[in-house]
């Protein structure tokens, strides 16, 4: 890549600590955001939504428009913008990926700052430069702006179901294989690699691996790592630092599976398999998945072996422009052997 880039609009305000949700009103008031649209996940526990509303009002928010995100679609986000107050100061996304994607895209369309307030850490979407939305019923990754603010209450995310924690870990370790695929594309096709974005992405994993525990500090490290990876994507203008062959396999599973699982669970499993295909990085990835109990989460609800082999075969054709390790050969037979022989994978796949 050559020439100067325009500035990347990275988050200006970041708070990742216990009790951060109860200071949301203080944070908004500090930036003179008095007219706020609060977009919350459908089904989010009422006490969490009430806390957010109360603290915003308590610090002088003159109006809080509370909207529930029922579906993550372009149509819903665009329709929402038409009903936002004209004097709106900011959009707050509260909850899981669906609400955050809708809030992020609505804020982008409205040209307003967005506060990302995730209540779980299941993937890096809360601070990515894109929104995962359906468009006319088909899943799309649409360009959006990074949040103005990231507010993560580690006490709140600690209370989220364990499966969401494992999903976040799976999405994070994917950065190891994604960066390796990016470098493979450079050597095979000359595709440019943004070294800073690649280094930042790799550092996010190393940071978390220093302490992959499910406590306040471990959750702070996971949240920080996922946030920085979103910034790495914004830096280079590509999802390459975060998404490679492991994500293609997950996308294929979304298309063919009778019951697709959480994105991070699929991606985490695919990352382990892909690392073995790549011939490096497996020990780092396995260490994180071992220490966080990821395998136990998968064994509780095993994947379909047949669906996974079909997804591995299908994955390279989903985006022929994206060169990965899957572009080099038919990998399904190797993956079948791994599933059948690798002790770590025992009980993770059902026939």
Q: What is the largest CA-CA distance in the chain?
A: 61
Query: What's the average model confidence in pLDDT over 149-156?
Result: 98
Beta-strand pair 303-304/149-153: unpaired
Place of tokens 């690699």: 193
pLDDT of 5 higher than 60: no
Beta-strand pair 138-143/130-135: antiparallel
Long-range CB contacts (within 8 A, 24+) of 1-6: 1/192, 1/194, 1/236
Place of tokens 């977009």: 39
Intrachain domains 13-158 and 162-350 with the same fold: no
pLDDT of 4 higher than 60: no
Residue (of 181, 179, 183, 182) closest to 205 by Cα position: 179
* Confidence label for 54 from pLDDT (cuts 50, 70 and 90): very high
Q: What is the C-alpha to C-alpha distance for residues 28 and 64, in angstroms, rounded to an integer? A: 12
CB 140 within 8 A of CB 77: no
What is the structure's pLDDT at 7? 57
Rg, C-alpha atoms of the chain = 20
Q: For residue 74, count other CB atoms closer than 10 A to its CB.
A: 18
Residue (of 104, 39, 90) closest to 61 by Cα position: 90
**Whole-prediction pTM value?**
0.92
Q: Could you confirm whether domain 162-350 is CATH 2.30.40.10?
A: no
Place of tokens 């702070």: 220
What is the structure's pLDDT at 77? 85
Which CATH entry fits the domain spanning 13-158: 3.40.50.150, 3.40.50.1970, 3.20.20.10, 1.10.10.1100?
3.40.50.1970
Domain locations in the chain as residue ranges = 13-158, 162-350
**240: exposed, middle or buried (Cβ count in 10 Å: 0-12, 13-18, 19+):** buried
pLDDT tens digits along 209-247: 889 999 999 999 999 999 999 999 999 999 999 999 999
pLDDT of 75 higher than 90: no
pLDDT of 351 higher than 90: no
pLDDT tens digits along 93-151: 999 888 899 899 999 999 999 999 999 999 998 998 888 887 777 777 888 889 999 99
* Confidence label for 85 from pLDDT (cuts 50, 70 and 90): confident
Place of tokens 């995310």: 157
């Amino acid at each position: 890549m050559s020439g100067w880039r325009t500035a990347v609009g990275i988050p200006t305000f970041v708070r990742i600590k216990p009790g951060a949700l109860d200071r949301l009103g203080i944070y908004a008031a500090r930036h003179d955001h008095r007219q706020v649209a609060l977009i919350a996940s459908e089904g989010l526990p009422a006490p969490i939504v009430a806390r957010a509303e109360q603290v915003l009002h308590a610090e002088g928010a003159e109006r809080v428009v509370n909207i529930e995100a029922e579906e993550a679609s372009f149509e819903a986000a665009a329709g929402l913008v038409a009903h936002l107050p004209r004097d709106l100061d900011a959009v707050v996304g509260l909850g899981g990926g669906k609400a955050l994607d809708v809030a992020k895209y609505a804020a982008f369309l409205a040209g307003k700052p967005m506060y990302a307030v995730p209540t779980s850490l299941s993937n890096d979407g809360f601070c990515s430069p894109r929104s995962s939305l359906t468009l006319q019923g088909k899943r799309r990754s649409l360009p959006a702006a990074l949040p103005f603010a990231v507010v993560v209450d580690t006490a709140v995310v600690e209370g989220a179901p364990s499966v969401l924690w494992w999903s976040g870990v799976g999405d994070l370790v994917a950065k190891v294989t994604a960066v390796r695929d990016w470098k493979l594309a450079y050597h095979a096709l000359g595709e440019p690699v943004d070294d800073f974005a690649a280094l930042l992405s790799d550092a996010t994993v190393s940071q978390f691996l220093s302490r992959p525990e499910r406590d306040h500090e471990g959750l702070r490290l996971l949240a920080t790592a996922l946030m920085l990876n979103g910034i790495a994507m914004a830096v280079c203008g590509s999802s390459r630092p975060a998404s490679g062959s492991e994500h293609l396999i997950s996308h294929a599973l979304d298309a063919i599976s009778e019951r697709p699982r959480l994105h991070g669970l699929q991606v985490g499993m695919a990352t382990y398999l892909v690392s073995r295909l790549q011939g490096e990085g497996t020990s780092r990835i396995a260490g994180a998945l071992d220490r966080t109990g990821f395998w136990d989460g998968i064994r509780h609800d095993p994947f379909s072996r047949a669906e996974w082999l079909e997804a591995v075969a299908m994955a390279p054709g989903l985006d022929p422009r994206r060169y990965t390790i899957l572009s080099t050969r038919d990998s399904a037979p190797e993956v079948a052997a791994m599933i059948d022989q690798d002790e770590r994978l025992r009980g993770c796949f059902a026939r």
